[in-house]
């Protein structure tokens, strides 16, 4: 009797591991399609950071300043619009427990960003941007690393770790140099992995 129970437990455990493995595989395939979101947000926030660096580091004409303002506003708006469209389009496709869990990771990230600014303002009575940027980068690094860890994607894990290390480096710099470091972080953690994932979306 004990032997039969032990065998049954082993089978249940093996079946559970198989289900988890299949869920991860489905989520990884979905992530490859979702690589387009890494690309869109990576480029959008890259332009925002780089524009902020240029605007603070160089003396520009009125026309160039207006162009930079466009790059700071329009790309994020386009990214938000595309994300909403993409989510609506993907709603009827396969949903997984892991995929839904990751959604909460990213929702929590954005909520945490808002809370960081509120707490900082409550304590300092102002927003210290030289403090804000490294903290936001750390939160982003956490979300990226958790995403890569859950899906067992080494490329994304590495991107998250590098993002965190760049946040530490940025904390020693002035705001304009922080923005330059942040620009590099978007390339390493979002743009490069996003393009690789999306290019391999049809591969098994």
pLDDT tens digits for 106-115?
889 999 999 9
If you ran DSSP here, which 8-state letter would residue 173 be given?
S
Band (pLDDT 50/70/90 cuts) for residue 200 is confident
Q: Which phi and psi (to 5°) does residue 139 adopt? A: -60, -40
Q: Can you read off the two tokens belonging to residue 114? A: 């808002």
Mean per-residue pLDDT, 179-193: 95
Cβ atoms of 38 and 188 closer than 8 Å: no
Residue 29 pLDDT: 57
Mean per-residue pLDDT, 125-146: 92
Mean per-residue pLDDT, 57-86: 90
Alpha-carbon distance of 191 to 178, in angstroms, equals 19
Q: What is the pTM of this model?
A: 0.80
Q: Which phi and psi (to 5°) does residue 6 adopt? A: -65, -40
Mean per-residue pLDDT, 6-19: 57
Residue 34 pLDDT: 64
């Amino acid at each position: 009797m004990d032997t039969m129970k032990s065998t049954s437990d082993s089978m249940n455990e093996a079946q559970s591991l198989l289900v988890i493995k299949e869920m991860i595989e489905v989520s990884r395939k979905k992530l490859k399609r979702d690589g387009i979101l890494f690309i869109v947000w990576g480029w959008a926030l890259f332009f925002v950071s780089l524009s902020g660096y240029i605007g603070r580091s160089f003396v520009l004409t009125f026309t160039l300043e207006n162009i930079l303002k466009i790059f700071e506003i329009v790309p994020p708006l386009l990214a938000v619009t595309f994300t909403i469209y993409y989510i609506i389009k993907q709603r009827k496709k396969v949903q997984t427990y892991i995929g839904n869990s990751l959604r909460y990771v990213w929702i929590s990230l954005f909520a945490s960003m808002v809370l960081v600014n509120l707490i900082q303002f409550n304590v300092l009575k102002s927003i210290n941007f030289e403090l804000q940027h490294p903290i936001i980068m750390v939160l982003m690094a956490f979300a990226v690393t958790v995403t890569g860890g859950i899906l067992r994607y080494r490329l994304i894990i590495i991107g998250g770790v590098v993002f965190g290390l760049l946040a530490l480096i940025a904390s020693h710099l002035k705001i304009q140099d922080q923005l330059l470091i942040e620009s590099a972080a978007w390339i390493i953690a979002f743009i490069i992995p996003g393009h690789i994932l999306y290019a391999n979306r049809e591969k098994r």
